[in-house]
Structure 1
Amino acid sequence: MTITYAVLLRGINVGGRRKVPMAELRELLTGLGHGDVRTYLNSGNAVFSSTETDEEGLASGIEEAIESHFGFGVPCLVRGGPYLRAVADACPFPTAELEAKQLHVTYYSGRVDPERFAAIDPEARLPEEFRLGDRALYLYAPDGLGRSRLAEELARPALNKGIIGTSRNWNTVVKLVEMTGAADPATG
């Protein structure tokens, strides 16, 4: 059985560093034997099909290939379309009422316990808010991610020790659901 996945690369093509051209990424994924390879934007989003069912194994293989080809390591998360759809559908914020720049999802390599973020005072950052989901964190930042003090706090290395996280704005969340064939996510 063939499964459609998204691979999310963390921290590439930012500030002219760790450049991974999307055409080369498509070639690399195709060279690994994946089918129907497509990329979205220049920020490390690709979709591919595979008969492999081990997401962690797929991610490891892609990480190794990227390091071998480009000469630097890039953490990757691989997630199937149904998971991406479930995360989008479970969004606790009113997506139909918000601009895409106000809503972000951080996908994590594993489960995140509320205790990890217990030191963050939610009242101190209002109107910004976050909620946890299935290996995901939803962030509402009304002034956008670039101005979000809560986003800075959530990205602190101490809070993310032992886990890989990579964030996408709501437009990208929706597009990856569409590209993996999991249909449009709920919009509100």
Structure 2
Amino acid sequence: MGRYAVFLRGVNVGGINIKMADLRAALKTLPLATFSTLLASGNIACTAKASAPELKELVEALLRERFGYDAWVVVFTAAEVDAAIKACPYPADSPLLHSYITLSSEPGVLDELETLGSALEDTELVRIAPRALAWQAPVGGSLASPFSKLSAKAKYKSTTTTRNLRTLLKVRDALA
């Protein structure tokens, strides 16, 4: 039985609104041993007999069918979430900077983002795992930061999502 974090991309932003109660009701139809939703940004902590790729397919199909949008998720094992958090060189709480981790289903996509992002002015990126990239943005300016704008491009929609480090800590704790 595997312990997984499932990160929904673009939920409750950009017109895709899913109530967590509705998401929980939909998840009951999947072969999950346990699950919980965390925050309203689309984070699921669960256990399942399925592999991570199988779980990704199951959740994406469910979201598309039940909620009618082009759903994409990134699935990490509990160990991968923990390792990414431990490798992040940035603090979870800072009065000046938010710490983020961009997660991907495809390491090659992060290779591209890392290369392009490293060339951006005032941008520091740290590859903390094959499928995770850490970065920071000023408090109040996250969406306007150069890397946020880069990683939000449509070409990365199906394979990446970004979470605040504080959110990942809550997901890790829910998987414990």
TM-score, shorter chain, exceeding 0.5: yes
Counterpart in the other structure of 1:184: none
1:18-97 to 2 correspondences below 5 Å:
18-52=16-50, 54-93=51-90, 95=91
Q: Distance in 2 between matches of 1:121 and 1:31?
A: 42
Contact 1:129 1:141 in 2 (8 A): no
Query: 1:36 deviation in Å?
Result: 2.3
Match of 2:146 among 146, 149, 160: 149
User: Take 2:102 and 2:64, find their aligned partners in 1: how far apart are those partners?
Assistant: 23
Query: How big is each residue's C-alpha offset from its partner over 1:101-128, in whole Å with a ceiling of 9 and x where there is no partner?
Result: 6100110011146455434454x522x4
- So what's the TM-score if we normalise by structure 1? 0.80
Structure 2: distance between partners of 1:179 and 1:89: 16
Counterpart mapping for 1:92-171 below 5 A: 92-93=89-90, 95=91, 98-99=94-95, 102-112=98-108, 114=111, 116-120=113-117, 122=119, 125-126=121-122, 128-134=123-129, 135-143=131-139, 144-157=141-154, 160=156, 164-171=159-166
> Could you tell me which residue of structure 2 aligns to residue 174 of structure 1?
169
Q: Distance in 2 between matches of 1:111 and 1:45?
A: 21
Residues 80-135 of structure 1, C-alpha deviations (whole Å, 9 max, x = no match): 11110001011133x1663596100110011146455434454x522x42122320
Stretches of structure 2 that go unaligned for 5 or more consecutive residues are none
Question: Higher Cα Rg: structure 1 or 2?
Answer: 1
2:128, 2:58 → 1: CA distance?
Answer: 26
- Coordinate RMSD, CA, aligned: 2.4
Local SS of the residue matching 2:71 = coil
Q: Identity of aligned pairs, percent? A: 28
Q: Which has the higher strand share?
A: 2
Provide TM-score, normalisation by structure 2: 0.85
* Amino acid across the alignment from 1:63: E
How far is 1:8 from its partner? 0.6
CA contact (8 A) 2:98 2:142 kept: yes
Secondary structure, in 3 states, of the residue corresponding to 2:79?
helix
2:12 — aligned with what? 13
TM-superposed deviation, 1:19: 1.8
Which sections of structure 1, spanning at least 5 residues, go unmatched? 182-188
- 8 Å CA contact 1:101–1:169 kept in 2: the answer is no
